Amino acid sequence: MASADVPPTIAWAGDRIRLIDQRRLPAELVVVEATTVEELCEYIATLAVRGAPAIGVAGAMGVALAVVRGEDPAAAGERLRATRPTAVNLGWGVDRALGAADPVAEAQRLAVDDVERNRAIGRHGAPLFASGANVLTHCNTGALATVGWGTALGVLRAAHEAGTRLHVWIDETRPVLQGARLTAWECERLGIPATLVADVMAAALMRAGRVDAAIVGADRITANGDVANKIGTYAVAVACHHHGIPFYVAAPRSTFDHTLPTGDAIEIERRSPDEVTTIAGVRIAPEGIAAENWAFDVTPAELVTAWITEDGVFRTPPGPDVAPAP
Amino acid sequence: MASADVPPTIAWAGDRIRLIDQRRLPAELVVVEATTVEELCEYIATLAVRGAPAIGVAGAMGVALAVVRGEDPAAAGERLRATRPTAVNLGWGVDRALGAADPVAEAQRLAVDDVERNRAIGRHGAPLFASGANVLTHCNTGALATVGWGTALGVLRAAHEAGTRLHVWIDETRPVLQGARLTAWECERLGIPATLVADVMAAALMRAGRVDAAIVGADRITANGDVANKIGTYAVAVACHHHGIPFYVAAPRSTFDHTLPTGDAIEIERRSPDEVTTIAGVRIAPEGIAAENWAFDVTPAELVTAWITEDGVFRTPPGPDVAPAP
């Protein structure tokens, strides 16, 4: 596998954290190091490392970094938690490390665990797709969004490796272009046939009968099954609903937040208007125009066909006591 | 009006055509000249001049240019017609000039006529919007898409100038970014309050109750009322339908093609994948990834709340004999 050449998205290295700088993909594959919690927070805030499962492990490793540096782990946890509000995994990772007798060991355990859970998500989800299927995906949910393997793209990877002939429609995913930059790069490396499209083409493809299913990841899933995910996910779900196309969400159980009843309670991160008014450093909009930039949206549970987790495929949202994650 | 400083989008200048080079907006406002039919075809194909009404007049002026240069007008018409297949106005303008006793005078007449028709569209459409309304628009349908004034954006301009307090959500309109580049520039010049968003945010704005109506232009409207327009229009229409939000189409009667029964018969232009894989000359996707780039999509008539024309607002698509355009 070409993908075997790629280092883990994020890894513990004794007294520092190594991570792929995803801001520089697909132009170059560069591994950078965070030796302080501040550096790590900056990497998370600027999306050098992103993806709910990946930043969950980053949160745990950040607490571990504070421990080995002799700093206050609780204060480090608060700083990490504040970098991005929407993905529940970040706070979850911080809490797991803070609550462990050995935060350093716990962070490393979560990293190993992440890959295993993703592979299980892939095993459960792969049979949902028939050979010949055209599957639309939004944002990046592959190895780069996790420690390794991936969630939604990991399901398609598992199906592909099991011999199911799939073709993937990749939404470019404005404004940060995780689809064009990262998912396209991963599909090429994995040899999964894929075609990149502007996000606005997805609905037209569905009307043309060119989409058999859609699959996305999640940043937070509330008790009723509502799904916060990358901005644009909701538009895909609405279009799938209109065309009677299955809409799947793939995420580990750590993405489920049973403390929130519905998606209305999820804090949606607002990011800089510059992500909309400039692309790759080039100004595209006139100076002075206002821009609004919600990083996530919420898809109500009634638009979700199934939630694919490491514990199986659920046609109704799994409660906290349903086959709980260990 | 700041907009009074802007030259017409396209104008006849005796032995040449002057037009705003829209590829260079919003960075700079530059008027270029076409002195041959070849030059004009290149300007149309590369979107230096675009928008169904504007390229309709460009087609007529191209035939006029052939006449003054002593070239075969019919051959010029064929070359012009082939540059862009979807907008019916281009072939309409060519045919109007070819069928006139004096193609040069006819081309100039169509240019004057275009502005008058747009102002009439604006007068009819403006009362559809209440003060305080948030109105979403897609692509560019302002003065730059026409000889002057505009169609869908012209309706919002007419409402704004009549004292209706509007706020416009501007879809950036990937891949060519006509919203971010051109509609944002026009709204700023006209003093219409507006906010730019990535296309994928439109549905989320609707769910949040932040959109009261959507209005778009059209490149071709078939006998049954189906609307071909910029890619992404259909996604907006589906999202409006899901949320019970009015979806309006504004276009002159010359955009109605009564020879085609439904939108299924419309030829959809495919443009270069480079428009998706690069932005402003910067490569955003990995080398080698396939990309598909449909320039237009078709919105079925059942998703259209009303068709706004120079002859009035129609709640069912106007037939060829309903208040025919003169």
Q: Please answer yes or no on whether A195 and B290 come within 8 Å at the CB atom.
A: yes
Structure confidence at residue A325 (pLDDT): 46
Partner residues linked to A197 by β-bridges:
A171
A167 burial (CB, 10 Å; 0-12 / 13-18 / 19+) is middle
Active site residue A219: yes
Contact list, A3 vs chain B (CB under 8 Å): none
Rounded CA-CA distance B318/B4 in Å is 33
Q: Place B320 in a pLDDT band, splitting at 50, 70 and 90.
A: confident
pLDDT in tens, B153-166: 999 999 999 999 99
Cross-chain CB nearest to B284 (options A203, A280, A291): A280
pLDDT in tens, A201-214: 999 999 999 999 99
Domain with CATH 3.40.50.10470 in chain A: 125-314
Does residue A246 have a cis peptide bond before it, meaning omega lies within 30 degrees of 0? no
Q: Please answer yes or no on whether A279 and B284 come within 8 Å at the CB atom.
A: yes
Q: Please answer yes or no on whether B27 and A283 come within 8 Å at the CB atom.
A: yes
B76: its two tokens = 């010029």
Architecture (CATH level 2) of domain B10-117: Up-down Bundle (1.20)
CA distances, A85 to each of A62, A144, A269, B293 (Å): 16, 20, 6, 35
Q: Which of A113, A114, A199, A219 is catalytic?
A: A219
Q: In this complex, is the C-beta atom of A174 within 8 Å of any C-beta atom belonging to chain B?
A: yes
- Please give the torsion angle defined by the CA atoms of residues A141, A146, A150 and A153, in that order, rounded to the nearest 10 degrees: 10
What's the mean pLDDT when you consider all of chain B?
A: 96
Q: Look up tokens 């996530």; give the residue.
A: A296
Q: Place B8 in a pLDDT band, splitting at 50, 70 and 90.
A: very high
Q: Place A324 in a pLDDT band, splitting at 50, 70 and 90.
A: very low
Q: Please answer yes or no on whether B289 and A242 come within 8 Å at the CB atom.
A: no
Q: pTM for the whole thing? A: 0.96
Architecture (CATH level 2) of domain A125-314: 3-Layer(aba) Sandwich (3.40)
pLDDT in tens, A14-35: 999 999 999 999 999 999 999 9
Structure confidence at residue B208 (pLDDT): 98
SS (H, E, C) B148-189: CCECHHHHHHHHHHCCCCEEEEEECCCCCCHHHHHHHHHHHH
Structure confidence at residue B68 (pLDDT): 98
pLDDT in tens, B37-74: 999 999 999 999 999 999 999 999 999 999 999 999 99
Task: Characterise A257 by phi-psi region: left (phi > 0), alpha (psi -120 to 50), beta (else).
Answer: beta
Cross-chain CB nearest to B231 (options A180, A201, A279): A201
Q: Give mean pLDDT, residues A41-61.
A: 97
Give residues 70 to 89 of A whose Cβ lies within 8 Å of B.
none
- Count Cα atoms within 13 angstroms, Cβ side, for A20: 22
Rounded CA-CA distance A11/A4 in Å is 15
A76: its two tokens = 């480090």
Contact list, B201 vs chain A (CB under 8 Å): 231-232, 292-294, 297
Rounded CA-CA distance A228/A303 in Å is 13
Backbone angles phi, psi at A280, to 5 degrees: 50, 40
Cross-chain CB nearest to A277 (options B196, B277, B285): B196
Domain with CATH 1.20.120.420 in chain B: 10-117
pLDDT in tens, A298-323: 999 999 999 999 999 999 999 887 76
